[in-house]
Every structure is written in structure tokens, then in C-alpha cells.
Structure 1
Amino acid sequence: MTTLNLDDFSDLIERPDGGTRRDAEERRERLAVPPGALGRLDELGEWLSAAQGSVPVRAVGQPRAVVFAGDHGVASLDVSGRPAGSAHELVRAFLEGASPAAVLARRAGVPVRIIDAGLDCDPELLPDEVVRHRVRRGSGRIDVENALTIEEAEQAVRLGMRIADEEADSGTDLVVLGDLSVGGTTPASTLIAALCGTDASVVTGRGGAGIDDLAWMRKCAAVRDALRRARPVLGDQLELLATVGGADLAAATGFLLQSAVRRVPVILDGVVSAACALVGQRAAFRAPDWWIAGHMSGEPAQAKALDRMALVPLLDQGVTLGEGTGALLALPLVQAAAALAAELPEAPLAPAPEKDADDGAAADADPASD
């Protein structure tokens, strides 16, 4: 029996400080660089200022990449470009620095934390700090069965909440959220279709690994069948995650919500993090104010979710890979926005106009002397 109600987050999450944001906007008006000349960088700096409650904004000093990993049973239907149960290989490549996201994190000096929420592999294949959080081995095939039991869904959400608390307590001031999964875009697309009231064909994309037309049709059918199972439980977000989500998606949802509670801003990556964010928005409507979309992944479901949350991606470079790659690419933009807002000088005040000598003499004259 679950004791967790995601709707309770609605009372726990406040918006970033509106007064601070207005102060940041006023300060921006006083800078030597003309308003509007820096485009969205101004908006980013003001968003960060409100999140921090600080004017001027502080530099992003302790960013962290947090990546939730898991395997999905639906991958056995050949809906992914990778073999079912092979997500641990992606994790291993990341740990060895051989993946694009690992390269970007290393170049940016961003520490990475990978959490195994539901990988389908022997724990001995990966370091203990990765696998010790595992909720279960793999998630169920969502077209015909639940991804998780309700108890496992609660455990996964609480795992994400705990990781968010640990990051906030350690001083992390900005999180890059990523995912490492095989089959993960299928439950993500299902969640988004269910929450947006959309058909399977509208949200089904080709995933980070890329799939051919036959695989796309299988994936579309899987989303369609999972969507039929999702609609009856739309009123309960935890049950929705248990029915058509997965351990990694449930953990990421808990992480996003608790990060908003702890006032830690997050850069979202692709369709998986967008799906988790959309579930989070359904639970707590103010939560998306703490998130920004790093990039446009090309997945139609991601575009649908971001539009519903009114989040405009920072980048659109055609990057379809997950793992936090797009969010890591966006991180330097956020850091640059903070630096510009904090370090650009204010324009000097214009000198007061001098009084005309004749005007002054006339003003000093005594009218009674005429």
C-alpha cells in the first residue's frame, strides 16, 4: 500500500522569487549594453537570479549531471535501435568516458552521477555506487503489463527525491538531467500522449538510436496499446508511472519535483526528461518554473510536452542522442548568461543639466523691486 501522493507537491513547491526577478530586470535596464541586445541570455540570467533569490545573479559554481538508468521490457518488441537489456553497456561507456555526454561533461568540468534505477543486468557488471540504488531489474512490458508495482513506483519516486536532497545538501546549484535507457522513449511517448490527449502516431518518434520504418510501426503499436492501459489511471500520477512508466522515469520524476521543492534549477534533456517533467507538472503546476529545456531532440513527443509546459528549448542542433547530451550542450549558455548578468557594468548616470546663468539671475531677483 502506497503512502505517497504526488499531488502533495503542489503545496510544497513555490515559484522562483518574483520580486527578485523584477529587481534583476530593473538592473538589466541599467546596464551599459542596450536591453534586448543579448537576446535570451537576458531572460536566462533573470530566471537564474529569481531561482537563487539573488541580485546580481551568482555564477553557476557547482553544476552536476544526474543521469537515471534503466531497461524497459517493451524493448523486446524490437522498438529500439539497441538490443533489449543492453542499457548497462551505455552506462559502462559513460563511466569510461567513451560516450558523447561523457566527453562534454569532462570538457565542461561537470561531475556526473549515474543512478541505476532499473537496469536489467547483474549488479557485478557495474560499480556499487551506480547499482546500489536499483529498484528492480528491468521494467515490465507496458503494452501488456504494468511497468512496476505501485510499491516499486513509490520506491523509485522516493529514490529520486533522496538523490535531489543529497544534491541540494551538497551545494549543487544547477542540475543537468539525463537518462540512459533502452526502450525508454516508448514509455516516455506513452506518458506524454496520455497527458496531452494525443494519439500514438502523433508522438511516436525514432528514438536516440534511430529505427527503420518497420521498427517505427512496431513502436507505434506498442505506444497505442500502452496508451489504452494508461487512460484509466490518469487521475493518479503515481499509478500512471507504475502502469506505463518505469523505475528510471519514476525516479527522475521524483527528482524533478524534489529539486523544485529545494529550489535547485534543472536543465532538461530530451523526450524522457520531458515526459517526467510533464508528469511533475500534472502533480504540481508551479514546478516547471524551476526547469528549462536544454535542446530540441527531434522527438515529436518532446515537442508536445514542452509546448504544454510553455518551455522553449535553448538549442536546436539536430542532436537526437539522449544521456544528457543536449542539456550539457546548453549548460555553457546558462553559465554565460549568469556571468553577463553579474559582471557587465551599469551605464554611468547622465550628468544633471546646468542652469542657465540668466535664468538663475532672474530667479534670484526680487519681484518687489520693480
Structure 2
Amino acid sequence: MSDFIVIGAGIIGLSTALRLLEEGASVTLIERHKVGCEASWAGGGILSPLCPWNYPDTVNRLVTFSISLYPEWTAALGTATGINPEYHVCGLLVLPPYDLDEAVSWCAAHATPLTYQIFPPSTHTWTSRIQICTQQQTDQALLLPDVAQVRNPRLSQALCKRVKQLGGNIIEHCEVQKLNVTRQEVRSIRIPHKNLSADRYILSAGAWSRQILGEYALNIEIKPIQGQMLLYKFSEKPLHSVVLQEDLYLIPRRDGHLLVGSTIEDVGFDKCITLEAKDKLSKWARKILPKLSSMLPLRHWSGLRPATPGNIPVIGAHPFLKNLYVNSGHFRYGVTMAPGSAEILTNEIMQRAQPFDTTPYQQGWNLSG
């Protein structure tokens, strides 16, 4: 019997399992499909809220802590596994419309570098036409030069390999059907044809977390939100920075791949891709990067992100079930928040001091609601 069963082997579950293994615990992960192939694979890997000034301090505090861990974390994973997660600082270029006063104020208050750039005219040579300027222009973009990205499918692969290297047990294609609870304690979990037991349990099942909790979800609000994305391939990297306009973005990979995302659709657990979404994403992308007008996307996919009110995840002990913990509800920022979330949950389990006040991440139970 393992010390811990982690339900869900996306990047959040894998990161949590890795930290516990590093502490000397024995860990079994249960994954309903394949490791890292739900929201962890479907997202883009931008290591920042899309516009941080639009998010509450609770979100930005966890993001800031988490991204501070990323350089050393990904370097160690790459060294141990031979899989490069491709963490690198690339910058985030924010195109109009946006609230300039809010952006400038937030960046000044948080010592975040910000520069203005002239929004380029319609051109097939985007990267060569961007000009830096020092004051506000009518049609300008904002550059956050310190924003990084990571290639999330490779991060999942590296985490999976490292978990196995440290003795973690991963069971794929295994759906958790029920928590078996006696006297306010999880005694086992029900999977097809049998029960599995551990001393303690961690729920990191993303959009499926509330379903698994069942009656023990209380008033927690985690629901699936679909995001559709497109993938293109250039012979060389088409952009230097991630480009963002409102909720849509272009993410350039080092090998010339370009991700275009993402829709935000409240359609339950429906993962079907649509022509409407494809047209919306491709039309916007061609407007921003005209080279795409002569290209067709290589792939079109969707993923289900675990949405919560205010984008604030639920991290910590269940208020009633004494051996159950939750690390879920990170919405669009599971990859961004992964190492930080794993760290603060491990601190709670090990009864260690936290780097900051983590009680806001335990308010999702909304017991008074």
C-alpha cells in the first residue's frame, strides 16, 4: 500500500507526486486516460497570466512564486531525464485593446519591466518590422520581456519519466469511480473491478475533480471549460515573442511550430472541435501574422480546463475528510502554477511554514455558501 494515491496524472498531479517522492514517500498515480494528455497537453505553456493586471493578487502571488521555481525545476528535470522541457524567456507582446493605465500601474507596483512597441503595419515580415519606442503611441503594443514559456507536452513527458525513476507507480486508463469513505476518512478508492487503498489521497483530476468528490465536493466550484487550438509549422521560428490580443494568442516554438489559441467555451465535457472555432482562430491569426494566409493548420484540438471563480485554484486539505487533499481548479494556468502548487501542498502535508499566506486557496469550499 502506498503512502499516497494521487488521482490525476496531468502536470499538477505529476508535479505533486514528484515532490512527495523527493520527500521519500511512496506514491501511486491514477489516470483516467494517458498521462498528461488532457488539459496539460492541450494548453500552450505561457508562464504568466495572459494580462496579470486583470487578475487578483491571489492568482498573481501563486504565479510569481511558481515561475520563480521554473528555471531550476526544468533544468533538473532535463538533466535527470534527458528530456528538455524547452523552458525559455521569450517575452509577451500584448496588442490593443487593453487598459494602459491599469497595465502601467500594475507593472510599476510589482517591479515588472514593461516597454512600448509600435504595432506593425500589415506586413509579411513581422519580426523585422517591430520597432521599440519609449513613449505611448496611438497604435502600440506592450512588451513584458521577462515572460517565459515551456513546451508543456515535453514537460509532462519529463515529469512522468522522473516520477518513474524515483519509484512512483502510474496506472493509466483507470477511472476513479468513487471515494469509499468511513468516519470522515477515505478508506479506499473504487476503480473498475476493485478498490485501491493508501494512507492519504490527493485529488488532482482537473475538470473531473468535482465529479470524483461527489457528495464531498460541498460547494466547491470546478467545472470544465473547453479551449480549442490550432497548430502551424514554419521552416524557422516565425516570431520572437508570444503575442496576445484579448483572450487569443500566438505561441512560437523554437523549431518553427506556432500555436494559435484559444477559445473559451462552456459546453460541459464536450471535447468536439468545431469549424466555427477553427475559422475564428485562423482568421485572427492571419490578421496578426499575414504569412499564415497561404498556410493550413497541421492540427486542431481541444482540451477541458478546470475553471474556478476568479481563476483561484483549490489547494489544501479537505475540510472534513482528514486524509484527503485537493490540488485542482487552476483553469488556464495549471502548467504555470504547477511547481508552486506542489510546493505549498507538500508544505501543508509536512506541516512546514509556507512562503506566503495560502488560506485563499482553501476558500473554494465556500462552506458558508
Return the index of the structure with the highest Cα Rg.
Answer: 1
The question of a shared fold, defined as TM-score above 0.5 by the shorter chain, is answered with: no
Q: TM-score, normalised by structure 1?
A: 0.25
TM-score between both structures, scaled by the size of structure 2: 0.25
Higher relative strand content: 2
